[in-house]
């Protein structure tokens, strides 16, 4: 999703704006731009495409400013183009915007009737026009408030005004915005990473806040226009440099980060000395008679794995639904339901709306979230953290396994709280769970074998993924990974569903990837593989040693670690991630920033 940086600096900002925008690349974008105060007026430079295109523009026409704003845009209203790139400009106003203004069409018409002409197709230009209009009769901060009062939708903005040489104004509703405190300099950013190169002293603005920063201070106002203070904290993530190290792509690095990510996550739930597992935040899991999980994309597949575990281990009924459906369907919920939003970013618009809806129904809400300062983390009653660290690749990997780790620990904690475990079982199961990081590391060692499959798979037009039980959501996740980074059409199916339709797709050109470590359902999956093989399908079986002994003739077999079925969704995730990764590399695709995708989808 779009990224924002603003600097009221004591020294030139051009390179620093670019540095920050590069850190925001992971969010996904299709154009970029900067603006700064040059000799008392605001100038801007913009380019379609990658930041290097913007750097070329700046090389030809530098921006010698010490006050400036920058933006990476992921197109919503209007195609990716230089003219639609931010900063957008109207009269004295130059601004950048994340989010969507829902009433922009009405506002645009009303402004046109006042004689205003528009240059771009963006909703953002409407904010600039409106603010410029309001500036005719009021000082900047009052004009900003008057503008915000007319907007419906989600936004984070940063604004420069001609004639106000040491001022950047900002506002947030629905999209996050942080204020960074430097030494004689101040910053605005769409997240802590944006201002990370300059400061780790950060204040998160609240919903509806707006702000004016100069070199020395931030003047923050709440939605009602009252001057307020927002606490300044030292944020570790802001200082940490997110580097690829020796890896070619962030995704590859993040696949390799998974043992640590899972270990750090599990340590928030399990006391390895006592073997006790608990839900963070003092939540008593015994008081719920149902769990409702809401999430999007990969996080929703982690949620589906969570459902198997809550029901099997804790006997706790659990529903899982994609948030974009849940939020609009007026679901029937019971008061003793624990609503859990699962999200890497904690900012996904649909998941956040579903979480807020559950809260409004009076349910206890929890957020399994990786970004602990995110909106979901702050708005949920309780944070169930994952500790994957910053995930930069658009394709989620370590966040997924960390979500599964957290949900597995929570399911065990619910089992213990509901009296479902025999004496000694809690310690036994947590000991097992703590083996996950090592087993994940073993699974990652399949990398060389998996790489050899890539050239053939890269030629496929369609790929099917099959699994049963918790391996079924993993099949869905495998298909999503392949689709999003290699652009090959892929579908995940419950293995038992194959004969109800998808088997018609099978021929010798369709690889079928079966994820089936040996478990009580393994024999049934073998039958499904035989059905595929009988129709000329090419089976790639990802299993363990025992499964390999029973593999059908002709199947290509990848042998992963032997593990308890409770751990299998985590342990068998790296092989399917590596498969998608090497197919994408084989195809020469942009692995970390796949086309059309954003890291955090903060619009509907
Ligand atoms: C994962 O590879 C995807 N890019 C996407 O499905 C993602 O998981 C989804 O948009 C949810 O994001 P969140 O976890 O930040 O809420």
Q: What is the mean pLDDT of residues 220-235?
A: 93
**Same domain assignment for residues 71 and 165:** yes
Domain assignment of residue 596, yes or no? no
**Same domain assignment for residues 76 and 192:** yes
**Same domain assignment for residues 207 and 181:** yes
**Same domain assignment for residues 72 and 218:** yes
Q: Whose CA is nearest to atom 16 of ligand 1?
A: 343
Q: Whose CA is nearest to atom 8 of ligand 1?
A: 298
Q: Does any ligand 1 atom lie closer than 6 A to the CB of residue 196?
A: no
**Same domain assignment for residues 106 and 190:** yes
Q: Is residue 543 within 8 Å of residue 518, measured between CB atoms?
A: yes
**Same domain assignment for residues 413 and 438:** yes
**Same domain assignment for residues 438 and 451:** no
What pLDDT score does 204 carry?
Answer: 87
* 33 DSSP β-pair partners: 46, 71
Domain assignment of residue 259, yes or no? yes
Q: What is the mean pLDDT of residues 116-127?
A: 93
pLDDT tens-digit readout, 385-431: 998 988 989 999 999 999 999 999 999 999 999 999 988 999 999 99
Domain assignment of residue 603, yes or no? no
Strands 186-189 and 227-228: unpaired
Domain assignment of residue 597, yes or no? no
Domain assignment of residue 9, yes or no? yes
- CATH code of the domain containing 317: 3.40.50.10490
CB contact set of 184 (below 8 Å; sequence gap of 6+): 10, 215, 216
- Is pLDDT of 241 > 80? no
Q: Does any ligand 1 atom lie closer than 6 A to the CB of residue 300?
A: no
Domain assignment of residue 604, yes or no? no
Considering 246, 266, 300, which residue would you say is the last residue of a domain? 246
Considering 442, 470, 498, which residue would you say is the last residue of a domain? 442
Q: Does any ligand 1 atom lie closer than 6 A to the CB of residue 580?
A: no
Q: Could you tell me the two tokens for 262?
A: 């899972």
**Same domain assignment for residues 314 and 221:** no
Q: How confident is the model at residue 238 (pLDDT cuts 50, 70, 90)?
A: very low
What number of helices (H) and strands (E) belong to the chain? 23, 27
Domain assignment of residue 564, yes or no? no
**Same domain assignment for residues 403 and 271:** yes
Q: Could you tell me the two tokens for 550?
A: 């029973």
Considering 390, 415, 442, which residue would you say is the last residue of a domain? 442
Q: Does any ligand 1 atom lie closer than 6 A to the CB of residue 436?
A: no
What pLDDT score does 153 carry?
Answer: 78
Q: Does any ligand 1 atom lie closer than 6 A to the CB of residue 403?
A: no
Q: Which residues are catalytic?
A: 2, 599
**Domain hosting residue 308, numbered range:** 255-442
**Same domain assignment for residues 314 and 170:** no
- CATH code of the domain containing 115: 3.60.20.10
Q: What is the mean pLDDT of residues 131-160?
A: 95
Measured in Å, residue 188 CA sits from the centre of ligand 1 at 25
Nearest atom in ligand 1 to 344's CA: 14
Q: How confident is the model at residue 552 (pLDDT cuts 50, 70, 90)?
A: confident
Tell me the best of 296, 375, 486 to mutate to test the pocket of ligand 1, counting ligand atoms within 8 Å of each CB and taking the most. 296
Q: Token match 């209009």: residue?
A: 133
- Is pLDDT of 104 > 90? no
**Same domain assignment for residues 378 and 479:** no
Q: Give strand ranges (E) for 144-272.
A: 153-161, 168-173, 178-181, 186-189, 201-204, 210-213, 218-221, 227-228, 233-234, 270-271
pLDDT tens-digit readout, 289-311: 999 999 999 999 999 999 999 99
Domain assignment of residue 592, yes or no? no
What's phi and psi for 467, nearest 5 deg?
A: -160, 160
Measured in Å, residue 547 CA sits from the centre of ligand 1 at 31
Q: Does any ligand 1 atom lie closer than 6 A to the CB of residue 348?
A: yes
Tell me the best of 393, 396, 581, 603 to mutate to test the pocket of ligand 1, counting ligand atoms within 8 Å of each CB and taking the most. 396
Measured in Å, residue 73 CA sits from the centre of ligand 1 at 18
**Same domain assignment for residues 436 and 452:** no
For residue 41, which of 119, 97, 102, 94 has the smallest C-alpha distance? 94
Measured in Å, residue 490 CA sits from the centre of ligand 1 at 17
pLDDT tens-digit readout, 146-164: 999 999 877 899 999 999 9
Structural domain count of the chain = 3
Give the DSSP H/E element, type plus range, for residue 358: helix 349-360
Nearest atom in ligand 1 to 394's CA: 4
């Amino acid at each position: 999703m779009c990224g924002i940086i603003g600097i009221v600096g004591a020294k030139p900002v051009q390179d620093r704006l670019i540095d920050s925008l590069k850190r925001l690349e992971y969010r996904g974008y299709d154009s970029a731009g900067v603006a700064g105060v040059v000799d008392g007026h605001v100038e801007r430079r913009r380019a379609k495409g990658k930041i290097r295109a913007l750097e070329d523009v700046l090389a030809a026409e530098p921006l010698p400013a010490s006050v400036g704003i920058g933006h990476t845009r992921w197109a919503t209203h209007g195609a990716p183009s230089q003219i639609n790139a931010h900063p957008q400009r109207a009269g004295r106003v130059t601004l950048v915007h994340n989010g969507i203004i829902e009433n922009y069409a009405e506002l645009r018409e009303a402004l046109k009737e006042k004689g205003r002409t528009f240059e771009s197709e963006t909703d953002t230009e409407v904010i600039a026009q409106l603010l410029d209009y309001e500036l005719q009769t009021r000082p900047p901060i009052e004009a900003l408030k008057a503008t915000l009062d007319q907007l419906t939708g989600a936004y984070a903005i940063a604004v420069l005004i001609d004639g106000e040489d040491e001022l950047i104004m900002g506002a947030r509703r629905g999209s996050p915005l942080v204020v960074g405190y430097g030494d004689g300099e101040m910053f605005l950013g769409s997240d802590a990473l944006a201002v990370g190169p300059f400061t780790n002293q950060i204040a998160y603005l609240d919903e509806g806040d707006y702000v004016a920063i100069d070199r020395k201070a931030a003047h923050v106002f709440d939605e009602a226009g009252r001057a307020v203070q927002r606490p300044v904290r030292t944020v570790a993530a802001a200082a940490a440099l997110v580097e690829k190290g020796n890896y070619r792509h962030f995704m590859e690095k993040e696949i390799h980060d998974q043992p640590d990510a899972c270990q750090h996550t599990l340590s928030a739930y399990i006391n390895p000395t006592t073997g006790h597992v608990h839900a963070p935040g003092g939540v008593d899991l015994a008081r719920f008679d149902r769990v409702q999980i809401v999430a999007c994309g990969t996080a929703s597949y982690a949620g589906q794995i969570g459902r198997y575990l809550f029901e099997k281990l804790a006997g706790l009924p659990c529903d899982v639904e994609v948030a974009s459906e849940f939020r609009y369907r007026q679901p029937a919920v019971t008061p003793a339901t624990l609503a859990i939003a699962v999200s890497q970013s904690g900012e996904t618009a649909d998941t956040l709306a579903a979480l807020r809806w559950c809260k409004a129904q009076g349910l206890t809400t929890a957020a399994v979230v990786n970004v602990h300062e995110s909106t979901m983390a702050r708005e949920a009653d309780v944070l169930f953290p994952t500790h994957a660290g910053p995930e930069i690749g658009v394709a989620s990997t370590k966040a997924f396994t960390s979500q599964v780790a957290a949900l597995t620990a929570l399911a065990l904690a619910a089992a213990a709280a509901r009296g479902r475990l025999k004496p000694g079982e809690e310690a036994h199961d947590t000991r097992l769970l703590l083996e996950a990081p090592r087993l994940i590391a073993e699974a990652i060692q399949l990398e060389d074998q998996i790489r050899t499959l890539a050239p053939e798979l890269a030629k496929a037009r369609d790929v099917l993924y099959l699994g049963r039980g918790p391996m079924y959501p993993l099949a869905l996740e495998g298909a999503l990974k392949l689709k999003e980074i290699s652009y090959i059409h892929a579908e995940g199916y419950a293995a038992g569903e194959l004969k109800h339709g998808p088997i018609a797709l099978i021929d010798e050109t369709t690889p079928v990837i079966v994820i089936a470590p040996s478990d009580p359902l393994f024999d049934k999956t073998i039958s499904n593989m035989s059905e595929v093989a009988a129709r000329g399908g090419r089976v790639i079986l990802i299993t363990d040693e025992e499964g390999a002994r029973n593999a059908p003739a002709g199947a290509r077999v990848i042998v992963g670690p032997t593990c308890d079925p409770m751990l299998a969704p985590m342990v068998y995730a790296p092989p399917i991630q590596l498969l998608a990764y090497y197919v994408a590399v084989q195809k020469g695709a942009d692995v970390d920033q796949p086309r059309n995708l954003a890291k955090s989808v903060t619009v509907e």
